[in-house]
Every structure is written in structure tokens, then in C-alpha cells.
Structure 1
């Protein structure tokens, strides 16, 4: 393989102060940095280049990243570089790295004796007896990654599937839901090793930062489409009232101003966790009529839980969503429609992001900053 020329590790290191400015409090920094404690492990995960400089050379000097040693990080870099050489988009790199995290903890494993799963070997625990290749081949990281990507390519609509489903179609694991928990850290590592590529859209030859409404390689997108099918004519989303502003210090989300009846989309793959009519005026719950200032409550409200213990909340919906609690949804899937129910002065979507699957105000973080860090900007302010 012809791998890119080495670049300095200095490109990977970010100042804590810079992250503090870009983030909305220590909780988000901890989430994005995977709980890294060593100052040298606080990496630049917020590249604005969206993969412009491409992956770094896996043979260069690489740092420890959280629980992952330099050797494990090198294996991730090899996986990413193979994906680029095969001209696959960065979404495939995120899926592949997350899969190797689950299968081998990014270690090129040999035979583990009684702990072995049959004859599984290598980064992806591929089985020679199942046709993946010889024992020597599947223990070659380049070969193993190539075989993973070749099978991923054959999965119908793999790039639009939730990560755990795409990985499972390739691996046929006994634990099909296990891959999802690695998606946030896999995204961070791809961003670190490939100049913010997980924030990009497009393929390895033409990566660009996403426009509003596009799904980034990290698997995140805007909750509202800004153009295309379903958007009502003349409607254009803008960011209105912000997160915990001076005049609204208890405003735990951001108001996305758009007309009533526009499709609201899940910002990432996840599971519907709550649907509720949340109105408090005079003890009544009447969410099927337009609200007004002072009425109280969120109106028709929907909550979705995502990988990494992230929960998103969508308020003031025009009617009860037709999705069901416990239903799995994909990034960009329409889950409701914008409206003005509850405590509302006009049609808009109130959008919140919470950490640790915690519904309380203590867990809320700034959605504008959070979504920008996930390659899915919410748009311009009024």
C-alpha cells in the first residue's frame, strides 16, 4: 500500500483551554475526550477541515489514547488507511474501527486457547474455517481490514444503516447490539487520525464538511431538513432562542424556528424512549391545539436515546408522534412534525441534548456546540 507521508503528532494535540472555549462545560469535554486524564491525551477532535489532509501514517509516532496503547492506535490508523485506499467514505472507517474495538479491543490477537471463540484471529476476530483467509492472512491488519471492507460493501444500504446493524451484517456476531457502544470513541479516533474525517460527507476522494441536513460520517445530522423532500415551501430553519441565555437562564435547549408541519428527524440512530403530552396550564393536558406563551410545558414531546448514553429531546410537536416507545430509528429518519403546542409563542422545534441518559436539567448541554462537534451544524442564528 502507498500510505500518506508522516505528519507530526503535534497536529493531534489540542490545548485544554481551546476545548473549554469550544465546549459547553466540563461534561461535554469529558464526553468528547472519552474521559482522558493525561494532558498529552487531550487530542484535537474538533478539526474544521473535515478530512482535508487525510489519514496520518500508521508507521509514525502515535500517542496513547485513553485505554488504547500506541500499538492499538496504530491498528486503528491501519484500518482507516485501508478504507481510504479502497476509496470508501469515512463512515466506513468509523464502522470498521468500532467493530475492531468490540472484537479485539484493537489488538491483533493470536490464538487465545480456551478463551478463543472457535478459531477467531486478528483485529476483527475473523475465522479461517469460515472462509476469511488463512490464519496468517487474517492476522495481517491490512488484509483483515480489506476483507472487512469488502464484505461491508456488499451490505445493502450499509452507509444508511445504524452502525451496529451494518457491523453485524458483516460479522454475524452472537452479540449484535454490542458494537453501538463503541461508536462515540471510534468517531473521536477517526477524527484524530484523519483530520476530522468523521465530521465529513462524501467519499475518500471528495470529502467535504456537511451541509445542513446531511448525515456526517459520525452518524449525526440536523433534526430539521433545510431543503428537499418534505420541507414546506418558503420555510427556512434558523436558530432562535439559545441555550441558557441571560434572559432565559433555564432554557435547557435551543429553539429552531421553522413553520408548523415540517418533518422532525432523529439526529442519530437510537431508540425512542419517551413520548409525552407535557402541558401544565390549569392541570390540563391539551397538546392537540396551538399553544401560547405562559401555557407551560413542552407540548407534544419526544425523547430518543443514542449510543454513548446521549439523549435528545424534541418539543412543541404539532401532534402525537406515530413512532412507538422502544422503536429503533436511524439517523435522519422522520419521527415527528414541528408545531407550536405547549408553552410556545409560535411554530418552532425546541431541541435539547442530554448526557448520561439523564432527563434532568443538570445533564443538558448546548445543542449548537454539541452538534457542531459532531459534524452536524444547526445553522445560523436569527
Structure 2
């Protein structure tokens, strides 16, 4: 699929960090591609990222003990990961759902970089101390108490649980309701890393939903603890930047005509239009073809952390308009085959750093897997 020229320029591309063990999958499929008709190929022709599946569980194994062996995570040392493990274990002991663990870990990332700070002298923010930079003068406890990671984590969760509807709030709003930070939007950027660390330290719990430590993997319509969900429940039919299609900036998911397309995460709609109206005789009110240019009816949504998702080839005009705020899992359109398409499917893209061009595109299979909402699971 080729988008119009305004979607194809400049910017730097950054791929998210990958820190998990993988097992290879090689399966032969008959596929329906954006760029052509039916074709047979093997998944071992896709990129290495598309061939692999995470060995994470779904949280049933429970959290690692904070004094056990820690995995290796780029950017975080052993002491920081032990602090994260403590935060997760306290949440599990209090029977806080895993989404709360992600919120707590992300908050500590912002407040202290997962470091149990004592008094920092001139760099101290008032009398803030510990993992969550809690202030004794504001009733969080004594200086000794708030520098105890177990105590500090418990106090964070106790206040989080008092926030009405916290489970349904965006991470940054839930964290801010507890912390009352002068920088209320700062927590959002830590959400992917926090979910990744919770997955590593708690048997994939960030991809699970539930009200206790007895967890189940997310399915279509469920929202992972990270706040992400699969936009359709359908198998992968064409991968990201394959050898056969190096300019394919997303993945094709073989959903059926008429299936709902869901917002992959909460955000704001920044594009909702037909990509072909400016190029008569091609239009979006009819099925497209391999010779039809553009995305057809499509939507772009901007999420926390300057992440953008794109949903192409909708059957009808999208259900959402520019400027509209959407929730994770909210229906935004219907699967169709408008634009540069040979049959019904969803073309799905993920872009980083607010860059809607091809330079900002990253592999959706890897990104969604790291958010705990893997793509490519069939109906």
C-alpha cells in the first residue's frame, strides 16, 4: 500500500527495545496482500520480528521475588529492577490488578528512575524522598518510612485504590490523581517500558486483565494493563517491510468485511478521511483494487508518548472525526477494501515520535506484543 505523498516524508525512525526470549514460528499461509491478489508465501520470508513469539506467560506464574535473579533490561540496572520487583510484589500482595502494577512502576520511573533516593540536597524537591518521591510533610509517612520501598509502594497503592474508576483511566491520569505532580503529563512516556518490565518480572502480567492475581490473557476487546488492545481479531496475512514488499509500512490482518475496527489505545483522532478523493476517478465509496492508489477510508489516532496508529481500507466513512477523543477498544470503523487493496482486511500501522511518514513507522507486531496486546490471533 502506498499513501499519498504528504504521508511519506522525513523524520527519524526509532524502534522500541526488545528484551524477551523468543521461539521461532514457520508456517505456510495463503495471503491476501494490499498490493496484489492471492499469493502463497512462508512466514520465514518475513522479518525476524514477525517470525517470533514471546515466551511470556499470562501472569499465572506470579511475580519474581525481589531478592531473586533479575533479568537483563537495557537501561536499568539490577538495583532498579529489584525496586520494580518490590513494587509489583506489594501490588500482588494487596490484590491490586496488574494494571495498577504498571501504573505504579511507571510512576516510580518518572519520580525516581526506580531509585530509592534519600535526601538530595539542593536537588531535592522540597522534602521528597524514596521511590515515589513522597513527602513526609504531606502526610505520606516519616522520612524513614517513605524510604522503605515496601512501605512506599503500599502507600501508593492505597491512594490509587481510592481513586474512583482508576482502572479505566489513562495511566497518566491515574498516576496524577495519586501524586499531584507539577508535571501531570510526564507519566505517559514511561508506560511502554513499565509494561515491558512488569511482563518480564511477573510472567507476562501486563498482557493480562482481571481483578486479582488469577489472570487471563487479553482477547479481542480486552484492554491490556498497558492500555492497548488489538484493533481486530484476525491472523497476519502480510508482514512489515518484508523482502517481497520492503515499502509495506504496516501489517495486514485478515479480518472479514463488516468486522469492527477498534482503537488500539486511548487517544485523539488526527485524520479521518478518504485518501483517494483528490485523485479521480478513484473514490472510497466503492471497493478498491491493486491499481487504486491510497489508503481508502482511513483513520490516524495520536496516543500518549507521540505514538500514532493508522487504520486503512475501511468499508464506509469512519465512525470518528478529527479532534474526537477515543478510548481503547472503541469502534472507529468497519473492515472493508477501499483504496489500494485486493480484498477485505485491515492494514494497521504504528508510528513513533509523532512522525506519520514512513520514516516514523515501526513494526506493529513487535510494538503490540510489547504492549501486551499481540496481533495476529485469529477468530
Q: TM-score, normalised by structure 2?
A: 0.78
Contact 1:256–1:351 under 8 Å retained in 2: no
Pair 343,63 (structure 1): closer, same or farther in 2 beyond 3 Å: closer
Query: RMSD of aligned C-alpha atoms?
Result: 3.3
Contact 1:83–1:146 under 8 Å retained in 2: yes
Alignment partners' CA distance in 2, 1:61 and 1:351: 38
Q: How many residues align?
A: 339
What is the CA-CA distance between 1:207 and the residue it aligns to? 1.0
Verify: 1:134 aligned to 2:132, yes or no: no
Paired position in structure 2 for 1:304:
301
Contact 2:98–2:213 under 8 Å retained in 1: no
Alignment partners' CA distance in 1, 2:77 and 2:240: 38
Of 258, 265, 269, 2:266 maps to 269
Of 287, 311, 322, 1:291 maps to 287
Verify: 1:375 aligned to 2:372, yes or no: yes
Paired position in structure 1 for 2:163:
155
Consecutive unaligned residues in structure 2, runs of 5 or more: 1-18, 26-42
For residues 144-169 of structure 1, what are the alpha-carbon distances to aligned partners after superposition, in whole Å with 9 as ceiling and x for unaligned?
11111111112222122211111111
Paired position in structure 1 for 2:102:
94
Paired position in structure 1 for 2:317:
319
Contact 1:351–1:367 under 8 Å retained in 2: yes
Pair 282,196 (structure 1): closer, same or farther in 2 beyond 3 Å: closer
Contact 1:254–1:368 under 8 Å retained in 2: no
SS at match of 1:319: coil
What is the CA-CA distance between 1:18 and the residue it aligns to? 6.9
Verify: 1:361 aligned to 2:358, yes or no: yes
Verify: 1:54 aligned to 2:62, yes or no: yes
What is the CA-CA distance between 1:66 and the residue it aligns to? 2.8
* Greater relative contact order (Cα < 8 A, sep 6+): 2
Structure with greater strand share of residues: 2
Consecutive unaligned residues in structure 1, runs of 5 or more: 1-12, 30-44, 227-236
SS at match of 2:157: helix
Paired position in structure 1 for 2:252:
254
Alignment partners' CA distance in 2, 1:209 and 1:100: 26
Pair 243,65 (structure 1): closer, same or farther in 2 beyond 3 Å: closer
**Greater Cα offset, 118-127 or 167-176:** 118-127
Paired position in structure 2 for 1:42:
none
Alignment partners' CA distance in 1, 2:113 and 2:186: 12
Alignment partners' CA distance in 2, 1:379 and 1:62: 30
**Greater Cα offset, 244-253 or 195-204:** 244-253
Paired position in structure 1 for 2:178:
170
Alignment partners' CA distance in 2, 1:328 and 1:128: 38
Contact 1:321–1:335 under 8 Å retained in 2: yes
What is the CA-CA distance between 1:129 and the residue it aligns to? 2.2
Matches within 5 A, 1:1-382: 46-62=54-70, 65-224=73-232, 237=234, 239-244=236-241, 250-252=247-249, 253-260=251-258, 262-279=259-276, 282-283=279-280, 286-287=283-284, 289-293=285-289, 294-317=291-314, 318-325=316-323, 327-380=324-377
Pair 163,313 (structure 1): closer, same or farther in 2 beyond 3 Å: same
What is the CA-CA distance between 1:216 and the residue it aligns to? 1.5
Pair 311,111 (structure 1): closer, same or farther in 2 beyond 3 Å: same
What is the CA-CA distance between 1:180 and the residue it aligns to? 0.6
What is the CA-CA distance between 1:203 and the residue it aligns to? 3.7
Pair 315,177 (structure 1): closer, same or farther in 2 beyond 3 Å: same
Contact 1:212–1:376 under 8 Å retained in 2: no
Pair 280,381 (structure 1): closer, same or farther in 2 beyond 3 Å: farther
Q: TM-score, normalised by structure 1?
A: 0.77
For residues 271-307 of structure 1, what are the alpha-carbon distances to aligned partners after superposition, in whole Å with 9 as ceiling and x for unaligned?
33333421178446743x1232122211122112334
Pair 212,282 (structure 1): closer, same or farther in 2 beyond 3 Å: closer
What is the CA-CA distance between 1:266 and the residue it aligns to? 1.5
Alignment partners' CA distance in 2, 1:68 and 1:131: 30
